[in-house]
């Protein structure tokens, strides 16, 4: 059973990631789909889930969207490396 972490954006994202780890990337994508979140981190999570599902084209697109929204150079380099590895 998952802990109730509240309804804030970070908690919602953490819950979606926990669902993906417990039930697989497709379940994680379903959990992300219901969230009203913006920013690069949900897109990065989506890209990771898509990568695990083998949808490299979709993952690359999500990574690229996340890169555009990311303002942290270290995170941007990580996202670029992940996209480049596909």
> What is the full DSSP assignment across 33-78?
HT----SHHHHHHHHHHHHHHT-HHHHHHHHHHHHHH---HHHHHH
pLDDT for 10: 85
Query: Is residue 32 within 8 Å of 42, Cβ to Cβ?
Result: yes
Give the domain ranges of the chain: 9-84
Does the pLDDT at position 3 exceed 60? Answer: no
Per residue in 24-65, pLDDT (tens digit) is: 999 999 999 877 668 899 999 999 999 999 999 999 999 999
State which fold the 9-84 domain adopts. 1.25.40
pLDDT for 1: 43
Mean pLDDT value of segment 68-79: 96
pLDDT for 6: 60
């Amino acid at each position: 059973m998952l802990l109730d972490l509240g309804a804030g954006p970070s908690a919602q994202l953490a819950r979606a990631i926990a669902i993906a780890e417990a039930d697989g990337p497709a379940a994680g994508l379903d959990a992300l789909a219901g969230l009203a979140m913006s920013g690069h981190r949900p897109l990065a999570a989506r890209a990771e889930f898509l990568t695990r599902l083998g949808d490299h084209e979709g993952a690359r697109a999500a990574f690229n969207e996340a890169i555009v929204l990311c303002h942290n150079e270290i995170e941007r380099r990580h996202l670029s490396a992940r996209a480049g590895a596909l």
